Amino acid sequence: MLHVAPTATDFDRRRQLGELRSVVESESGRRFLAEGYTGWPFAVDGI
């Protein structure tokens, strides 16, 4: 998501920045990132 492909063109870079903005400027996008980073819950039962 944040890496720059060795073959990236100027257009690829502008598209990447647009995609990044669409994630961080949306609450749903930020929440999706936060959920993925902190991990989906799992339960340890029976202990």
Partner 1 sequence: MTTQRTQVAIVGAGPAGLILAHLLDSYGIESIVVDDRTRGEIETTIRAGILEHSTVDLLANHVAGSRVLTTGERHNGVNLRFAQENHRIDFAALTGRAVWLYPQHEVLKDLIAARLDAGQDLRFSTRGVRAQSNGTGAWVLCEDADGREFQIDADFVVGADGSRSAVREAITGSHTSGFFKEYPFAWFGVLCEAPPSSHELIYSNSDDGFALISRRSETVQRMYFQCDPEDDTSAYSEEQLWDILQRRVPGTELQRGHIFQRDVLRFRSFVASSMHKERLAIVGDAAHTVPPTGAKGMNLAVADVVILAKALRALLREGDARLIDGFEDAV
Please report, as ranges, the residues that interact with partner 1 according to CB under 8 A: 2-7, 13, 16-17, 20, 24, 27, 30-31, 33-47
User: In the complex, what is the shortest distance from the CB of residue 37 to partner 1, in angstroms, rounded to a whole number?
Assistant: 6
**Cα–Cα dist 24/47, whole Å:** 39
Exposed e or buried b per residue across 17-38, where buried means at least 16 C-beta atoms within 10 angstroms of its C-beta: eeeeeeeeeeeeeeeeeeeeee
User: In the complex, what is the shortest distance from the CB of residue 9 to partner 1, in angstroms, rounded to a whole number?
Assistant: 12
User: In the complex, what is the shortest distance from the CB of residue 35 to partner 1, in angstroms, rounded to a whole number?
Assistant: 6
